[in-house]
């Protein structure tokens, strides 16, 4: 069986080298004809030199994608893949030696599945600030850590797979592409393009399989363990939540930010930065927020959590503005 592994990379050659070195140690079942696509997303570092290092030890093929952004790079991989299945992972992971073996076990069990994925373990090179860990749940999971803690088998929505450890049957994709409005770019920490992609496959009846034995570790860069980064991440997450909601409802018309969202933004700002406002209990548990505020704990943790909420709401406002102004193709 022909299998394509796809890695999209942008200016992280040192991490890519570690990733490829581990790939070279990976067990490859005898029935697998493997190709490894590395999509160079217009890198300006020594990425190509790193690829040359592994040209003799891996079935590696370089693909160049000049348009910036992870969704562009993933779409380039889809266009170039020659396998019956494509396994996406990241340039900053360490796959288990049995990763590909377990993937094959999964598709033998569920040959008609549209997608299959497994556990992503956060890999912290240094210990994060404990206050940030309490205030920002996304940091606790390393942003894309994933473990559904359930047996292998069909995965019911809204449970999803993440881009560091996800595979698709090419026949099930049938021309689908990742949405350019969602994926991260060098200028924006976008996300969840893989979540939206998976939901479109589900909407067509595609089955999603959870295979926890298919494991890898995902690097958490220390630069992402800072207050400034985490607040930017909250802002972009709020923006993306509005964009994804609009796509799910098939809305294309301009949707200005509702007045209540401005009011909530002002309330949260006063509570987070001035301490002159106490958010009502009904707002603290609102589904508007990514997670409820931590109960108890220090004043600093609560302040950080409120700042996260404020930036998330600001991001929602930006999302409404983006939908009204965007003329980009949606690349379904």
**pLDDT computed for residue 330 by the predictor:** 42
The pLDDT value given to residue 329: 38
pLDDT less than 70: residues of the chain: 188-190, 246-255, 275-297, 324-332
The CATH number that domain 2-225 falls under is 3.90.550.10
User: What's the pLDDT at 247?
Assistant: 64
Q: Could you tell me the two tokens for 257?
A: 């930010």
- Give Cα separations from 102 to 106, 170, 218 (angstroms): 6, 19, 18
Domains of the chain, residue spans: 2-225, 236-325
- Tell me what pLDDT residue 210 has: 98
Helix (H, G, I), strand (E, B) or coil at 95: strand
Radius of gyration of the chain (CA): 21
Q: How confident is the model over 181-203, as pLDDT tens digits?
A: 888 877 766 678 999 999 999 99
Q: Determine contact, residues 37/54, Cβ cutoff 8 Å.
A: no
pLDDT given at position 157: 92
pLDDT of residue 58: 98
Tell me the C-alpha distance between 223 and 177, whole Å: 30
């Amino acid at each position: 069986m022909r299998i394509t592994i796809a890695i999209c990379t942008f200016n992280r050659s040192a991490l890519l080298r570690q990733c490829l070195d581990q790939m070279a140690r990976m067990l490859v079942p005898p029935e697998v004809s493997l190709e490894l696509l590395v999509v160079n997303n217009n890198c300006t570092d020594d990425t190509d030199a790193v690829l040359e290092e592994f040209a003799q030890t891996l079935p590696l093929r370089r693909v160049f994608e000049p348009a910036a952004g992870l969704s562009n790079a993933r779409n380039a991989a889809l266009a170039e893949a020659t396998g019956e299945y494509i396994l996406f992972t990241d340039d900053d992971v360490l796959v288990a030696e049995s990763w590909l073996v377990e993937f094959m076990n999964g598709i033998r069990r569920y040959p008609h599945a549209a997608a299959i994925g497994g556990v992503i373990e956060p890999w912290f090179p240094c210990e994060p600030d404990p206050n940030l860990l309490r205030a920002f749940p996304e940091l606790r999971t390393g942003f894309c850590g994933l473990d559904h803690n359930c047996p292998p088998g069909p995965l019911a929505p809204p449970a999803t797979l993440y881009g560091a450890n996800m595979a698709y049957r090419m026949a099930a994709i049938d021309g689908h592409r990742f949405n350019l409005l969602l994926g991260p770019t060098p200028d924006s920490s976008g996300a969840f393009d893989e979540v939206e992609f998976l939901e479109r496959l589900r909407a067509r009846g595609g089955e999603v399989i959870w295979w926890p034995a298919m494991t890898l570790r995902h690097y958490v860069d220390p630069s992402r363990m800072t207050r400034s980064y985490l607040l930017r991440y909250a802002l972009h997450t709020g923006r993306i939540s509005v964009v994804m909601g609009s796509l799910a409802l098939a809305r294309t018309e301009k949707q200005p930010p509702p007045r209540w969202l401005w009011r909530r933004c002002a309330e949260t700002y006063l509570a987070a930065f001035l301490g002159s406002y106490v958010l009502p209990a009904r707002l603290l548990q609102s589904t508007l927020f990514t997670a409820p505020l931590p109960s108890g704990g220090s004043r600093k943790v609560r302040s950080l959590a409120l700042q996260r909420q404020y930036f998330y709401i600001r991001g929602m406002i930006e999302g409404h503005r983006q939908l009204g102004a965007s003329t980009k193709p949606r690349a379904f």
